[in-house]
Amino acid sequence: MAWRVRLLRSSLLHGAGLAAALIVSAAPAAEVAKVKIERVTSPGGIEAWLVESHTNPLIAMRFAFRGGASQDLQDKEGLAYFISAMMDEGAGPLDAVAFQEREQALAMRMDFDASRDVMLGNVQTLSANKDEVYDLVRLALTKPRFDKDAVERVRAQILAGLKFDENDPETVASLAWDRLAFNNHPYGRPIKGTMASIAAISPGDLKDYARRVFARDKLVISVVGDIDAATLGKVLDLVFGGLPPRSALAPVADANPPLGPTREIIEMDVPQSVAQFGHRGVARKDNDFIPAYVLNYIIGGGGFSSRLMEEVREKRGLAYSVYSNLYPYQHGAVFVGHVATKNEAVGQSLAVIEGELRRLAEQGPTAEEFDSARSYLTGAYALRFESSSSIANQLLWIQIEDLGIDYVNRRNVLIEAVTLDDIRAVAKRLIEADRLITTIVGKPVEAKAEDAPG
Protein backbone atom coordinates (compact mmCIF):
# COMPACT_ATOMS: atom_id res chain seq x y z
CA MET A 1 0.00 0.00 0.00
CA ALA A 2 1.43 3.34 -1.09
CA TRP A 3 1.24 5.63 1.91
CA ARG A 4 3.71 7.41 4.12
CA VAL A 5 3.19 10.00 6.81
CA ARG A 6 6.03 11.99 8.29
CA LEU A 7 6.39 14.78 10.79
CA LEU A 8 7.71 17.52 8.52
CA ARG A 9 9.68 20.63 9.26
CA SER A 10 10.17 23.60 7.06
CA SER A 11 12.60 22.34 4.42
CA LEU A 12 13.86 25.55 2.88
CA LEU A 13 16.69 26.39 5.19
CA HIS A 14 17.51 23.26 7.16
CA GLY A 15 20.45 22.51 4.88
CA ALA A 16 22.36 20.34 7.32
CA GLY A 17 19.48 17.97 7.99
CA LEU A 18 18.62 17.64 4.33
CA ALA A 19 22.23 17.23 3.25
CA ALA A 20 22.70 14.50 5.83
CA ALA A 21 19.65 12.67 4.52
CA LEU A 22 20.85 12.64 0.91
CA ILE A 23 23.72 10.82 -0.72
CA VAL A 24 24.35 12.90 -3.80
CA SER A 25 27.08 13.98 -6.11
CA ALA A 26 28.22 17.58 -5.98
CA ALA A 27 26.29 20.04 -8.14
CA PRO A 28 27.61 23.45 -9.12
CA ALA A 29 25.96 26.41 -7.44
CA ALA A 30 25.42 27.93 -10.88
CA GLU A 31 22.82 25.23 -11.58
CA VAL A 32 20.41 26.94 -9.18
CA ALA A 33 20.40 30.05 -11.36
CA LYS A 34 19.31 27.93 -14.33
CA VAL A 35 16.02 27.01 -12.66
CA LYS A 36 13.45 29.00 -14.59
CA ILE A 37 10.20 29.25 -12.66
CA GLU A 38 7.04 30.13 -14.54
CA ARG A 39 3.80 31.18 -12.88
CA VAL A 40 0.94 29.32 -14.60
CA THR A 41 -2.73 30.16 -14.15
CA SER A 42 -5.28 27.68 -15.47
CA PRO A 43 -8.39 28.71 -17.43
CA GLY A 44 -10.29 28.14 -14.18
CA GLY A 45 -8.01 30.44 -12.19
CA ILE A 46 -5.86 27.84 -10.38
CA GLU A 47 -2.22 28.88 -10.01
CA ALA A 48 0.92 26.74 -10.00
CA TRP A 49 4.65 27.27 -10.34
CA LEU A 50 6.20 25.35 -13.22
CA VAL A 51 9.76 24.41 -14.11
CA GLU A 52 9.50 22.96 -17.61
CA SER A 53 12.11 20.36 -18.54
CA HIS A 54 11.93 17.80 -21.32
CA THR A 55 15.21 16.05 -20.48
CA ASN A 56 13.35 13.03 -19.09
CA PRO A 57 9.76 11.83 -19.71
CA LEU A 58 8.80 12.43 -16.07
CA ILE A 59 6.58 14.91 -14.23
CA ALA A 60 6.71 15.67 -10.51
CA MET A 61 3.80 17.49 -8.89
CA ARG A 62 3.76 18.66 -5.29
CA PHE A 63 0.83 20.41 -3.67
CA ALA A 64 -0.31 21.46 -0.23
CA PHE A 65 -3.49 22.49 1.51
CA ARG A 66 -2.99 24.86 4.41
CA GLY A 67 -4.43 23.46 7.60
CA GLY A 68 -2.68 20.19 8.41
CA ALA A 69 -2.90 18.65 11.85
CA SER A 70 -3.82 22.01 13.40
CA GLN A 71 -7.30 21.34 11.97
CA ASP A 72 -7.76 18.08 13.89
CA LEU A 73 -10.95 18.04 15.93
CA GLN A 74 -10.77 18.16 19.72
CA ASP A 75 -10.37 14.60 21.02
CA LYS A 76 -9.82 13.44 17.42
CA GLU A 77 -6.06 14.02 17.34
CA GLY A 78 -4.48 12.19 14.43
CA LEU A 79 -7.32 13.02 12.04
CA ALA A 80 -5.05 14.60 9.41
CA TYR A 81 -2.59 11.72 9.83
CA PHE A 82 -5.42 9.22 9.37
CA ILE A 83 -6.80 10.86 6.24
CA SER A 84 -3.36 11.10 4.64
CA ALA A 85 -3.12 7.32 4.95
CA MET A 86 -6.53 6.88 3.31
CA MET A 87 -5.97 8.78 0.07
CA ASP A 88 -5.28 5.71 -2.07
CA GLU A 89 -7.85 3.52 -0.32
CA GLY A 90 -10.51 3.94 -2.97
CA ALA A 91 -12.22 6.83 -4.75
CA GLY A 92 -15.17 7.27 -7.07
CA PRO A 93 -16.10 3.91 -8.63
CA LEU A 94 -12.84 2.24 -7.51
CA ASP A 95 -12.55 0.45 -4.18
CA ALA A 96 -9.18 0.20 -2.43
CA VAL A 97 -7.98 -2.86 -4.33
CA ALA A 98 -9.01 -1.51 -7.73
CA PHE A 99 -7.52 1.90 -6.99
CA GLN A 100 -4.15 0.50 -5.93
CA GLU A 101 -4.05 -1.90 -8.87
CA ARG A 102 -4.59 1.08 -11.15
CA GLU A 103 -1.71 2.93 -9.45
CA GLN A 104 0.58 -0.01 -10.06
CA ALA A 105 -0.47 -0.38 -13.68
CA LEU A 106 0.30 3.28 -14.32
CA ALA A 107 3.71 3.07 -12.58
CA MET A 108 2.81 6.22 -10.66
CA ARG A 109 3.59 7.42 -7.18
CA MET A 110 1.05 9.19 -5.02
CA ASP A 111 1.43 9.83 -1.31
CA PHE A 112 0.29 12.33 1.28
CA ASP A 113 1.98 13.71 4.38
CA ALA A 114 0.44 15.41 7.40
CA SER A 115 2.38 18.21 9.06
CA ARG A 116 1.32 20.73 11.67
CA ASP A 117 0.35 23.47 9.22
CA VAL A 118 -0.21 21.78 5.87
CA MET A 119 -1.43 18.60 4.24
CA LEU A 120 1.00 17.73 1.46
CA GLY A 121 0.51 15.69 -1.67
CA ASN A 122 3.13 14.20 -3.95
CA VAL A 123 2.45 12.76 -7.42
CA GLN A 124 5.10 11.45 -9.82
CA THR A 125 4.32 10.02 -13.24
CA LEU A 126 5.67 9.21 -16.66
CA SER A 127 4.53 11.95 -18.99
CA ALA A 128 2.96 9.35 -21.31
CA ASN A 129 0.60 8.31 -18.50
CA LYS A 130 -0.21 11.79 -17.20
CA ASP A 131 -3.85 11.95 -18.34
CA GLU A 132 -4.85 8.73 -16.60
CA VAL A 133 -2.71 9.47 -13.55
CA TYR A 134 -4.13 12.94 -13.00
CA ASP A 135 -7.66 11.63 -13.41
CA LEU A 136 -6.92 9.14 -10.62
CA VAL A 137 -5.57 11.97 -8.43
CA ARG A 138 -8.74 13.94 -9.19
CA LEU A 139 -10.85 11.07 -7.89
CA ALA A 140 -8.74 10.76 -4.73
CA LEU A 141 -9.14 14.45 -3.90
CA THR A 142 -12.75 15.04 -4.89
CA LYS A 143 -14.43 11.64 -4.41
CA PRO A 144 -12.64 9.71 -1.64
CA ARG A 145 -14.68 6.72 -0.50
CA PHE A 146 -13.52 6.08 3.08
CA ASP A 147 -15.10 2.63 2.95
CA LYS A 148 -15.54 1.01 6.33
CA ASP A 149 -13.28 -1.97 5.63
CA ALA A 150 -10.47 0.28 4.39
CA VAL A 151 -10.89 2.62 7.36
CA GLU A 152 -10.65 -0.27 9.81
CA ARG A 153 -7.60 -1.74 8.08
CA VAL A 154 -5.74 1.58 8.15
CA ARG A 155 -6.88 2.23 11.73
CA ALA A 156 -5.32 -1.07 12.80
CA GLN A 157 -2.06 -0.12 11.10
CA ILE A 158 -1.96 3.28 12.79
CA LEU A 159 -2.73 1.75 16.20
CA ALA A 160 0.08 -0.76 15.70
CA GLY A 161 2.41 2.13 14.88
CA LEU A 162 1.35 4.03 17.98
CA LYS A 163 1.99 0.96 20.09
CA PHE A 164 5.49 0.77 18.65
CA ASP A 165 6.04 4.49 19.32
CA GLU A 166 5.24 3.97 22.99
CA ASN A 167 8.57 2.17 23.29
CA ASP A 168 10.59 4.55 21.13
CA PRO A 169 12.47 6.96 23.45
CA GLU A 170 12.95 9.69 20.83
CA THR A 171 9.24 9.76 19.95
CA VAL A 172 8.20 9.79 23.61
CA ALA A 173 10.64 12.63 24.40
CA SER A 174 9.41 14.65 21.42
CA LEU A 175 5.73 14.23 22.30
CA ALA A 176 6.38 15.18 25.91
CA TRP A 177 8.35 18.25 24.83
CA ASP A 178 5.55 19.43 22.54
CA ARG A 179 3.06 19.03 25.38
CA LEU A 180 5.18 21.15 27.73
CA ALA A 181 6.06 23.78 25.12
CA PHE A 182 2.64 24.25 23.56
CA ASN A 183 0.29 23.30 26.41
CA ASN A 184 -3.30 23.33 25.11
CA HIS A 185 -2.42 24.77 21.71
CA PRO A 186 -3.03 22.48 18.68
CA TYR A 187 0.75 22.16 18.31
CA GLY A 188 0.81 20.38 21.65
CA ARG A 189 -1.33 17.55 20.29
CA PRO A 190 0.35 14.44 18.85
CA ILE A 191 0.16 14.53 15.06
CA LYS A 192 -0.29 10.76 14.93
CA GLY A 193 -2.99 10.94 17.58
CA THR A 194 -3.40 8.62 20.54
CA MET A 195 -4.78 5.13 20.90
CA ALA A 196 -8.06 6.62 22.16
CA SER A 197 -8.36 9.39 19.56
CA ILE A 198 -7.60 7.14 16.58
CA ALA A 199 -10.13 4.62 17.87
CA ALA A 200 -12.74 7.40 18.01
CA ILE A 201 -12.33 8.65 14.42
CA SER A 202 -15.17 7.68 12.11
CA PRO A 203 -15.52 7.72 8.31
CA GLY A 204 -17.72 10.77 8.82
CA ASP A 205 -14.87 12.58 10.57
CA LEU A 206 -12.60 11.84 7.61
CA LYS A 207 -15.18 13.16 5.16
CA ASP A 208 -15.65 16.27 7.27
CA TYR A 209 -11.90 16.96 7.33
CA ALA A 210 -11.69 16.60 3.56
CA ARG A 211 -14.62 18.96 3.13
CA ARG A 212 -13.12 21.59 5.43
CA VAL A 213 -9.49 21.46 4.26
CA PHE A 214 -9.36 20.31 0.64
CA ALA A 215 -10.28 23.57 -1.07
CA ARG A 216 -8.81 25.80 -3.74
CA ASP A 217 -8.31 28.97 -1.66
CA LYS A 218 -5.66 27.34 0.57
CA LEU A 219 -3.92 25.38 -2.19
CA VAL A 220 -0.36 25.80 -3.47
CA ILE A 221 1.11 23.72 -6.32
CA SER A 222 4.49 23.17 -7.92
CA VAL A 223 5.18 21.11 -11.05
CA VAL A 224 8.52 20.15 -12.57
CA GLY A 225 9.22 18.12 -15.68
CA ASP A 226 7.99 17.12 -19.11
CA ILE A 227 4.93 19.36 -19.43
CA ASP A 228 4.31 22.81 -20.91
CA ALA A 229 2.28 25.66 -19.44
CA ALA A 230 -0.78 25.20 -21.68
CA THR A 231 -1.02 21.50 -20.89
CA LEU A 232 -0.48 22.14 -17.19
CA GLY A 233 -3.33 24.65 -17.15
CA LYS A 234 -5.72 21.92 -18.32
CA VAL A 235 -4.30 19.48 -15.76
CA LEU A 236 -4.81 21.94 -12.92
CA ASP A 237 -8.49 22.36 -13.76
CA LEU A 238 -8.93 18.60 -14.16
CA VAL A 239 -7.30 17.66 -10.86
CA PHE A 240 -8.30 20.55 -8.61
CA GLY A 241 -11.19 22.28 -10.37
CA GLY A 242 -13.81 20.12 -8.67
CA LEU A 243 -12.71 21.10 -5.17
CA PRO A 244 -14.74 23.64 -3.18
CA PRO A 245 -13.66 27.23 -3.85
CA ARG A 246 -13.24 28.04 -0.15
CA SER A 247 -12.06 26.08 2.87
CA ALA A 248 -13.68 26.10 6.30
CA LEU A 249 -10.61 26.19 8.51
CA ALA A 250 -10.92 26.74 12.22
CA PRO A 251 -8.82 29.72 13.39
CA VAL A 252 -5.53 28.80 15.06
CA ALA A 253 -4.15 31.18 17.66
CA ASP A 254 -0.46 32.06 17.79
CA ALA A 255 1.42 29.94 20.30
CA ASN A 256 3.82 31.48 22.78
CA PRO A 257 5.97 28.67 24.17
CA PRO A 258 6.92 29.38 27.78
CA LEU A 259 10.49 29.54 28.99
CA GLY A 260 11.77 27.10 31.59
CA PRO A 261 13.70 25.88 33.30
CA THR A 262 11.50 22.80 33.09
CA ARG A 263 12.81 19.25 33.11
CA GLU A 264 10.57 16.19 32.88
CA ILE A 265 11.90 12.65 33.19
CA ILE A 266 9.96 9.72 31.76
CA GLU A 267 11.39 6.41 32.90
CA MET A 268 11.89 3.72 30.28
CA ASP A 269 13.99 0.60 30.67
CA VAL A 270 16.46 1.26 27.86
CA PRO A 271 20.29 1.25 27.85
CA GLN A 272 20.58 4.88 26.77
CA SER A 273 18.53 7.98 27.38
CA VAL A 274 17.20 10.46 24.86
CA ALA A 275 16.73 14.11 25.77
CA GLN A 276 15.01 16.88 23.85
CA PHE A 277 15.71 20.47 24.87
CA GLY A 278 14.79 23.90 23.59
CA HIS A 279 12.58 26.94 23.87
CA ARG A 280 10.84 29.55 21.74
CA GLY A 281 12.50 30.39 18.44
CA VAL A 282 12.43 32.93 15.61
CA ALA A 283 9.52 33.28 13.18
CA ARG A 284 10.18 32.72 9.48
CA LYS A 285 9.23 36.30 8.58
CA ASP A 286 11.39 37.76 11.37
CA ASN A 287 14.34 39.80 10.09
CA ASP A 288 16.59 37.72 12.35
CA PHE A 289 15.57 34.37 10.87
CA ILE A 290 18.40 34.07 8.34
CA PRO A 291 21.08 34.93 10.96
CA ALA A 292 19.37 32.51 13.35
CA TYR A 293 19.47 29.82 10.69
CA VAL A 294 23.22 30.30 10.22
CA LEU A 295 23.64 30.29 14.00
CA ASN A 296 21.73 27.03 14.31
CA TYR A 297 24.07 25.40 11.81
CA ILE A 298 26.93 26.40 14.08
CA ILE A 299 25.15 25.21 17.23
CA GLY A 300 23.95 21.79 16.19
CA GLY A 301 22.70 21.81 12.61
CA GLY A 302 26.06 21.22 10.99
CA GLY A 303 26.60 17.57 11.84
CA PHE A 304 30.18 16.85 12.86
CA SER A 305 31.18 20.47 12.26
CA SER A 306 28.72 21.82 14.84
CA ARG A 307 29.72 23.16 18.25
CA LEU A 308 27.60 20.68 20.22
CA MET A 309 28.91 17.68 18.31
CA GLU A 310 32.48 18.84 18.82
CA GLU A 311 32.11 19.49 22.55
CA VAL A 312 29.73 16.68 23.56
CA ARG A 313 30.81 13.81 21.33
CA GLU A 314 34.23 14.49 19.85
CA LYS A 315 36.00 15.99 22.86
CA ARG A 316 34.24 14.16 25.69
CA GLY A 317 32.71 11.05 24.13
CA LEU A 318 29.50 11.64 26.05
CA ALA A 319 26.85 11.18 23.36
CA TYR A 320 26.11 9.09 20.32
CA SER A 321 24.31 11.97 18.63
CA VAL A 322 23.51 15.60 19.35
CA TYR A 323 21.92 18.13 17.02
CA SER A 324 19.56 21.10 16.85
CA ASN A 325 16.97 22.59 14.52
CA LEU A 326 14.82 25.65 14.03
CA TYR A 327 11.12 24.95 13.48
CA PRO A 328 9.39 28.12 12.25
CA TYR A 329 5.83 26.83 12.44
CA GLN A 330 3.19 29.17 11.11
CA HIS A 331 1.77 29.94 14.56
CA GLY A 332 4.79 29.56 16.80
CA ALA A 333 8.52 29.08 16.22
CA VAL A 334 10.78 26.94 18.39
CA PHE A 335 14.46 26.08 18.70
CA VAL A 336 14.89 22.39 19.57
CA GLY A 337 17.85 20.11 20.18
CA HIS A 338 18.31 16.39 20.80
CA VAL A 339 20.95 14.31 22.51
CA ALA A 340 21.19 10.52 22.91
CA THR A 341 23.64 9.14 25.45
CA LYS A 342 24.17 6.37 27.98
CA ASN A 343 22.08 6.75 31.10
CA GLU A 344 24.96 7.64 33.40
CA ALA A 345 26.09 10.47 31.09
CA VAL A 346 22.78 12.34 30.74
CA GLY A 347 23.42 14.90 33.44
CA GLN A 348 26.94 15.67 32.25
CA SER A 349 25.84 15.87 28.59
CA LEU A 350 23.09 18.36 29.37
CA ALA A 351 25.47 20.40 31.50
CA VAL A 352 27.94 20.63 28.61
CA ILE A 353 25.14 21.56 26.21
CA GLU A 354 23.85 24.30 28.50
CA GLY A 355 27.38 25.57 29.00
CA GLU A 356 28.05 25.81 25.27
CA LEU A 357 24.71 27.51 24.64
CA ARG A 358 25.49 29.99 27.39
CA ARG A 359 28.92 30.63 25.90
CA LEU A 360 27.45 31.20 22.44
CA ALA A 361 24.88 33.61 23.83
CA GLU A 362 27.57 35.60 25.63
CA GLN A 363 30.40 35.48 23.09
CA GLY A 364 28.90 34.35 19.81
CA PRO A 365 30.66 31.90 17.51
CA THR A 366 34.22 32.25 16.32
CA ALA A 367 35.02 33.84 12.98
CA GLU A 368 36.15 30.41 11.74
CA GLU A 369 32.84 28.80 12.70
CA PHE A 370 30.92 31.61 11.04
CA ASP A 371 32.90 31.49 7.78
CA SER A 372 32.62 27.70 7.60
CA ALA A 373 28.86 27.76 8.18
CA ARG A 374 28.16 30.45 5.63
CA SER A 375 30.36 28.75 3.04
CA TYR A 376 28.66 25.37 3.50
CA LEU A 377 25.12 26.71 3.51
CA THR A 378 25.57 28.64 0.27
CA GLY A 379 27.56 25.92 -1.47
CA ALA A 380 25.21 23.09 -0.56
CA TYR A 381 22.06 24.84 -1.74
CA ALA A 382 22.47 23.47 -5.28
CA LEU A 383 22.11 19.93 -3.92
CA ARG A 384 18.41 20.61 -3.44
CA PHE A 385 17.88 20.98 -7.18
CA GLU A 386 19.26 17.71 -8.49
CA SER A 387 15.96 16.05 -9.47
CA SER A 388 12.47 17.01 -10.59
CA SER A 389 11.02 15.87 -7.29
CA SER A 390 13.51 17.81 -5.16
CA ILE A 391 12.99 20.97 -7.21
CA ALA A 392 9.22 20.63 -6.88
CA ASN A 393 9.60 20.23 -3.13
CA GLN A 394 11.72 23.38 -2.87
CA LEU A 395 9.24 25.41 -4.90
CA LEU A 396 6.35 24.15 -2.82
CA TRP A 397 7.90 25.23 0.48
CA ILE A 398 8.82 28.60 -0.95
CA GLN A 399 5.12 29.07 -1.68
CA ILE A 400 3.99 27.70 1.68
CA GLU A 401 6.27 30.14 3.47
CA ASP A 402 5.35 32.98 1.10
CA LEU A 403 8.94 33.86 0.24
CA GLY A 404 8.36 34.99 -3.34
CA ILE A 405 8.97 33.40 -6.73
CA ASP A 406 12.46 34.95 -6.89
CA TYR A 407 13.60 33.38 -3.60
CA VAL A 408 15.69 30.73 -5.35
CA ASN A 409 17.95 33.49 -6.66
CA ARG A 410 17.85 35.56 -3.45
CA ARG A 411 18.45 32.84 -0.89
CA ASN A 412 22.25 32.66 -1.06
CA VAL A 413 22.49 36.43 -1.30
CA LEU A 414 20.60 36.69 1.99
CA ILE A 415 22.98 34.28 3.68
CA GLU A 416 26.08 35.97 2.26
CA ALA A 417 24.82 39.29 3.63
CA VAL A 418 24.85 37.98 7.21
CA THR A 419 27.76 39.28 9.30
CA LEU A 420 29.44 37.93 12.40
CA ASP A 421 27.95 40.84 14.34
CA ASP A 422 24.48 39.76 13.14
CA ILE A 423 25.12 36.25 14.43
CA ARG A 424 26.32 37.50 17.80
CA ALA A 425 23.28 39.74 18.15
CA VAL A 426 20.81 36.98 17.33
CA ALA A 427 22.64 34.60 19.67
CA LYS A 428 22.01 37.01 22.54
CA ARG A 429 18.37 37.29 21.51
CA LEU A 430 17.62 33.64 20.76
CA ILE A 431 19.54 31.52 23.24
CA GLU A 432 18.21 31.15 26.78
CA ALA A 433 20.52 28.47 28.14
CA ASP A 434 19.14 28.74 31.67
CA ARG A 435 15.49 28.64 30.53
CA LEU A 436 15.36 25.38 28.57
CA ILE A 437 12.41 23.04 28.44
CA THR A 438 13.91 19.54 28.62
CA THR A 439 12.35 16.09 28.42
CA ILE A 440 14.38 12.96 29.14
CA VAL A 441 13.33 9.39 28.39
CA GLY A 442 15.28 6.46 29.80
CA LYS A 443 16.83 5.75 33.19
CA PRO A 444 19.04 8.82 33.52
CA VAL A 445 21.53 9.30 36.32
CA GLU A 446 22.11 12.81 37.74
CA ALA A 447 19.39 14.52 35.71
CA LYS A 448 16.91 15.81 38.25
CA ALA A 449 13.45 16.88 37.22
CA GLU A 450 12.68 20.59 37.55
CA ASP A 451 9.49 22.59 37.53
CA ALA A 452 9.13 25.92 35.83
CA PRO A 453 8.89 28.83 38.26
CA GLY A 454 5.35 29.92 39.00
- Domain-wise residue ranges, the chain: 35-240, 262-442
pLDDT in tens, 121-167: 999 999 999 999 999 999 999 999 999 999 999 999 999 999 999 99
Report the chain's C-alpha Rg in angstroms: 23
> Cα–Cα distance between 169 and 434 in angstroms, integer?
24
CATH number of 262-442: 3.30.830.10
Q: Is the pLDDT of residue 401 over 50?
A: yes
Let me know: does 126 contact 388? Beta carbons within 8 Å.
no
Q: Is the pLDDT of residue 26 over 80?
A: no
The mean of the pLDDT values for the chain is 91
User: In the chain, pLDDT over 70 holds for what percent of residues?
Assistant: 91
- What is the pLDDT at residue 293? 98
Domains 35-240 and 262-442 share a fold: yes
Closest listed residue to residue 325, CA positions, set 297, 366, 286: 297
- What is the pLDDT at residue 452? 46
Domain at 35-240, CATH homologous superfamily: Metalloenzyme, LuxS/M16 peptidase-like (3.30.830.10)
In terms of phi and psi (left: phi > 0; alpha: psi -120 to 50; beta: otherwise), the region of 402 is: left
pLDDT in tens, 323-345: 999 999 999 999 999 999 999 99
